Chain A
């Protein structure tokens, strides 16, 4: 079945450091890929997405590129802020069988950014 593997946390960085959170996936079809973020005390929010190979999703300074050859969708940000402290989830949705409404999530990565 479909699955998402993301790097285990927690990740602790200083403000203005470069961030990478690795995400790889397994899917039999051609999935759409997503990053969701959960800030403390809030619900999951869509951060960015990419729906086909080589697409780059971007939002709030975060970027991720859909790499079909390496089945990866790594999240990056050039300069993190304290306000980026949150749990980040990589997810996919697979068109196979018409289930393009269902999200399959990774385990999440806790990011803490210190001033």
Chain B
């Protein structure tokens, strides 16, 4: 079956603009995660969905960032009023249930966001 897919693969935008990043998880996976990877750093946790609800959004840096998963599959990460510091690779992952020690997280290829 298909893995986790993310679109677009690259997004270039101007400071102040609004962007949406999409994640299609593996079919049947109830858990979905967003991470952000800045240059030279490891991925940093942003938000975790279990089904349609955000079970933990403690990693979202501020209220310009928001994510939804309305039907429990596809998720969209939304960034308002983008800033140059938002430039990073945004990674999506999914897993069957959500306990990482028993349940592998499968990562997508990422969306590289560049804010000019």
- Interface residues, chain A, with chain B CB atoms under 8 Å away: 4, 32, 34, 36, 41-46, 49, 51, 89, 91, 93, 99-108
Contacts and interface: CB of A to CB of B under 8 A. Distances in A.
In the A-B complex, list the 6 residue pairs whose CB atoms are closest, starting with the nearest.
Answer: A105-B42, A32-B101, A44-B107, A43-B107, A93-B100, A101-B98
Nearest to A103: B100
A99 B56 contact: yes
Contact of B43 (A42, A45, A103): A103
Given A101-B31, A101-B48, 16 more contacts: A4-B42, A32-B100, A36-B107, A43-B3, A43-B4, A43-B107, A44-B107, A45-B107, A46-B104, A91-B42, A102-B56, A102-B59, A103-B43, A103-B105, A106-B42, A107-B41
Interface residues of B, number: 29
Contacts of B110: 43
A101 B42 contact: no
Contacts of B105: 46, 103
Contact of A102 (B41, B42, B45): B45
B99 A107 contact: no
B109 interface: yes
B101 A43 contact: no
A101 B107 contact: no
A46 to B, nearest CB: 5
B36 to A, nearest CB: 11
A23 B93 CA distance: 23
B79 interface: no
B45 A100 contact: no
A39 to B, nearest CB: 11
